[in-house]
Amino acid sequence: MGTPLDALYKRFQTKVDEDLTGKESLIFALVDVAISKSYKTCRHSLIYVLDEPEYDEEENQTNEYEGSFNDTLDSDEIELLALWMKYEWKERKVSYLDGEKKRIGTKDFNRLESKKDELSASMKSSEKALDEVKSFMQEFNTYKYS
């Protein structure tokens, strides 16, 4: 058994300033996106296996997204996956606000100062997250494994 998916979830949660309670399926979807962007860079296999879902009576929920990677991932590999998840999380916000802008029209959207500012801030945040991924990937690619 390799690295638990929970290690990746926790790393991602440290990078996002939001309460992620109840968003487990979305976070899990981000894992697959991150894997699709990272599998050529990582030296370990990013194949994972989910555990059999169990109902947790204390928390009144089913633990559907618990499992582990087949390999034990390095800290850098977990970090790369978490950074891609963070970027995709930020992009979702930009896409949502951009969709609102299209629904109500650019002119009306721009009159809503708070929405206009939120879109601008979200776009900057997304760009910053992508820059962070690119910078980390440069470091990652120059690192020599023994």
Predicted pLDDT of residue 139: 82
Confidence check: pLDDT of 144 > 60: no
Condensed to tens digits (0 to 9), the pLDDT of residues 104-138 reads: 888 887 788 888 889 999 999 999 999 999 999 88
Condensed to tens digits (0 to 9), the pLDDT of residues 2-52 reads: 999 999 999 999 999 888 888 888 999 999 999 999 998 898 999 999 998
Condensed to tens digits (0 to 9), the pLDDT of residues 81-108 reads: 999 999 999 999 999 998 988 888 888 8
Q: Whole-angstrom Cα distance, residue 46 to residue 71? A: 7
The residues spanned by each domain of the chain are 5-142
pTM of the model: 0.86
Q: Are 93 and 124 in contact (CB under 8 A)?
A: no
Return the closest-CA partner of residue 75 out of 7, 121, 6, 5: 7
